[in-house]
Structure 1
Amino acid sequence: MSDRTLYAGVDIGGTTTQVVLCDDALTVLDRAETTTPAAHGGQAMIDAALGALTPLLRGTPGRLTGVGVGAAGVVDSAEGRVLVASDSFRGWAGFPVTTAVADALGVPAFLDNDVNAFLRGEASSGAVRGEPDVLGITLGTGVGGALWTDGRLFPGPHGAAGEIGHIPGFGDLPCTCGGRGHLETLASGRSLAARYAERTGRTLTAPDLADAAGSGDEDARAVFHDAAAGLARAVVMTAGLVDITTVVIGGGVSRAWHLLEPVIRQRLVEEPPVSGHPVRLVRAGLGPDAVPVGAASRARLETGRGRRVEPASTPAP
């Protein structure tokens, strides 16, 4: 098995970094997790990811062919840099991610926004494998979106295609991006907690809210209902624009699937897409592996095309 082709996938989140090692079929051979040193700068974050990956490479026979990285924020995939990052990261915006990884490992490296990587993972080996036209949604601290059209990721000319979390028209509350009334103000974990606090004066996390809703707390049920209704409306809007056939939803808030799914399905029946064709709704299947597997799939795709990113002798300034 020493000639086996291996691909690594990395998911650098604000709190945790996930690393997987995959074979050519994107089967996860091994995985690791480490704390993200987000306050210590880009090189520290890359070093932490490589530190988690190194033991996997030592323990898995094969030849590493490429590495994919999924990162939160706005990224320049072509240049392999993070353009905009949240204030929880220090020294991350502008950092040459792919150069640092390629220099360290001597193989091509590729960078994706984490939501795009999530959708790549689910489309390559997850819940929507083989689907040609998919809207991917992640529900976590924020709301992320990505588009898969004609069997491939469609990032758009500025890398923002599918970002339904920042579609306006969902009220007037301020959004984390500086706008108002975006879907994220309804359906993110942070927004669920804030809306519940406004109704009750009590502060609960999104997982605790789901538990409370399951125990009959009507205020908790109401904030999940509003989130699901907003998601359904955004799905219909997207279907009217790009005629998607399938929606896959993941992220931490999707653990409350039993609260979200019935409302989304009901609203999609009441207000179907203009095409008249129902949209297939599925829950993500890869769990925490989705982003790193999707990042690995990008590396497999690009190296399979013969495209190479040569390691630089020194990091770009």
Structure 2
Amino acid sequence: MTHTVAGVDIGGTTTQVALCEEDLTVVDRLEVPTPAAAGGTAMVGAALDAVRLLLDRTGATLLGVGVGAAGVVDARAGRVLVASDSFRGWAGFAVTAAVEEALGVPAFLDNDVNAFLRGETAVGAVAGEPQVLGMTLGTGVGGALWLDGALYDGPHGAAGEIGHVPGFGDLPCTCGGRGHLETLASGRAIEARYGQRTGRSLSARGVAEAAAGADDPEALAVYEGAGAAVARALLMTAGLLDVTTFVVGGGVSRSWSLLEPAIQRTLTAEPPVSGHPVRVLPALLGQDSVAIGAAARARAELGTGVRH
């Protein structure tokens, strides 16, 4: 019988669940809707139902569960601290206690961006790298730090949050600040900047499709601005921490062919003072990255690893 850990990615729209072996190979996976408006109990319940279904159809034994959750979390206490208004009854919810009570195995909680970086450093684009900044370009912009081969979340759990560093103009940010990276490089920002330029309403994917057609200079300009802003954020990180390896994921990063030229031009024009070459890689694990990273956290916390 295969011994596994489960990785759970609770997002605002869908929840991804993956059963993983010792080497984090995915045995089976499932995507279910997230009942974000129904509260924490319902959200975790949907994830638990998915875990049970995967266990039933694989016959695997479960040793532990890792959860990656949107919002600010207390990873040590296993509790969500702050959540966006997309979720009801999520802030304050004790995630790991609910999972442990239901499944009878240890459970561990991470912020979803931290889990993303755990996945990419374990078996993804930056596997084995000791120093990495991970960045997710989605509805917002998230960041996480991997230093000396381990996640570094800082004394207040907010280390690596490059999406909310100022210095990127003066546009208002969703967090209440101004001029943050998120105001230029998030999916929401791409939609807004394009709308301001053209008066047209398109999703970030729609803007990407318009830019890829090479007949919409305004769409190209919006992605050019996003890529240049990302590169400046990477250069800030390189200057402050001497970290020069970066992995970029999230929905906006699927338009890598539009972002990368601007990123590389900016990095070439303003190399870090160390002179060390900067490596920027697109995420490898796709929509599995958070779930696999959450499973990697559970595997590490269990200590002896998962057995076959």
Q: TM-score normalized by structure 1?
A: 0.95
Distance (Å, rounded) in 2 between the aligned partners of 1:26 and 1:304: 15
1:99 corresponds to: 97
1:299 corresponds to: 298
1:257 corresponds to: 256
2:11 corresponds to: 13
2:142 corresponds to: 144
Structure 1 residues 279-290: aligned runs within 5 Å: 279-290=278-289
* CA positional deviation for 1:305: 6.2
2:59 corresponds to: 61
* CA positional deviation for 1:279: 1.1
What is the count of residue pairs matched by the alignment? 304
2:33 corresponds to: 35
* CA positional deviation for 1:245: 2.6
Structure 1 residues 195-210: aligned runs within 5 Å: 195-210=193-208
**Residue identity matched to 1:80:** G
2:177 corresponds to: 179
* Helix, strand or coil at the partner of 1:198: helix
Which residue of 17, 23, 26 corresponds with 2:24? 26
Which residue of 115, 126, 129 corresponds with 1:128? 126
Which residue of 167, 170, 189 corresponds with 2:165? 167
* Helix, strand or coil at the partner of 1:281: strand
**Residue identity matched to 1:90:** R
2:239 corresponds to: 240
1:278 corresponds to: 277
Deviations 1:21-50 (A, max 9, x none): 000110000000000000000000011011
Confirm whether residue 268 of structure 1 aligns to residue 267 of structure 2: yes
Tell me whether 136-145 or 240-249 shows the greater mean CA deviation: 240-249
* CA positional deviation for 1:55: 1.3
* CA positional deviation for 1:214: 1.0
Distance (Å, rounded) in 2 between the aligned partners of 1:50 and 1:66: 12
Distance (Å, rounded) in 2 between the aligned partners of 1:19 and 1:69: 9
Distance (Å, rounded) in 2 between the aligned partners of 1:104 and 1:243: 43
* CA positional deviation for 1:60: 2.0
* Helix, strand or coil at the partner of 2:228: helix
Distance (Å, rounded) in 1 between the aligned partners of 2:273 and 2:100: 46
* CA positional deviation for 1:53: 1.3
Q: TM-score normalized by structure 2?
A: 0.97
Structure 1 residues 72-87: aligned runs within 5 Å: 72-87=70-85
1:309 corresponds to: none
**Residue identity matched to 1:145:** G
Unaligned segments of structure 1, at least 5 residues = 307-317
* Helix, strand or coil at the partner of 1:207: helix
Unaligned segments of structure 2, at least 5 residues = none
Confirm whether residue 191 of structure 1 aligns to residue 189 of structure 2: yes
* CA positional deviation for 1:162: 0.7
